[in-house]
Amino acid sequence: MGLFARTPRPAQITPADAWALSQAGEAALLDVREAGEYAAGHAPGSLWQTLAAVAAGAPLPDAVPTGHPVLVVCRSGNRSQKAAELLAARGVRALNVSGGMRAWHAAGLPVRDRAGQDGQVI
């Protein structure tokens, strides 16, 4: 491999497909936004770990089932793409949720705040 060799970009998954897989228990949904963003509105059942923690090599949350893919989401898809690349380099089967929580919300999928009420994507 040359100096500029890159690992392949992780696959993309639509918000609707990510929701279906996470609801079926076939994948873990990992939100990599900052604490305030996550508290304001996140996908129900999602796990949380910042991109900075992923970049620092922190272990995935204990609730991520071994052997299941990790579906990574942020606000627009940029941070989650980077997190998915980092996780893939560690041997994790990671997919990026295309369009992030903005696309999630636009698709009419549920968004909840920290109290479990209707949330907002900030």
Q: Show the DSSP H helices in 60-110 as ranges.
A: 78-89, 100-106
Could you say which DSSP state residue 93 is in? Answer: -
Q: Which residues are catalytic?
A: 74
Whether the CB-CB separation of 89 and 111 falls below 8 Å is answered with no
Residues ≥6 apart with Cβ < 8 Å to 51: 32, 33, 74, 79, 80, 82, 83
